[in-house]
């Protein structure tokens, strides 16, 4: 599973990445966390509000920091 965090690398993006890693671990899933800071790639996903969360190529959240529990439900 590939989880992408889309954003500039701000504190919200860092927190979202930490929560995504915790959610994957709690769910017992192998996940690669990829941080995407390139604006062109972020826009290519159709994300206009960061941070964005992409799971296996599907945008599942934009503009907010989800908790580990919320992310686990999306996995």
42 annotated active-site: no
pLDDT at position 47 is 93
Q: Name the active-site residue from 13, 42, 47, 65.
A: 13
In whole angstroms, how far apart are CA 53 and each of 14, 39, 74? 12, 14, 10
pLDDT at position 22 is 96
Per-residue pLDDT of the chain (75 residues; tens, 9 = 90+): 999 999 998 999 999 999 999 999 999 999 999 999 999 999 999 999 999 999 999 999 999 999 999 999 988
CATH number at 2-74: 3.40.30.10
10 annotated active-site: yes
pLDDT at position 9 is 87
Q: Cα separation of 43 and 59, whole Å?
A: 12
Q: Name the active-site residue from 1, 2, 10, 48.
A: 10
């Amino acid at each position: 599973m590939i989880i992408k965090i889309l954003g500039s690398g701000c504190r919200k993006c860092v927190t979202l990445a930490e929560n995504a890693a915790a959610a994957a671990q709690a769910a017992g899933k192998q996940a690669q966390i990829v941080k995407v800071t390139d604006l062109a790639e972020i826009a290519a996903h159709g994300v206009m509000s960061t941070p964005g969360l992409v799971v296996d190529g599907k945008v599942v959240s934009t503009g907010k920091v989800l908790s580990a529990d919320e992310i686990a439900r999306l996995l």
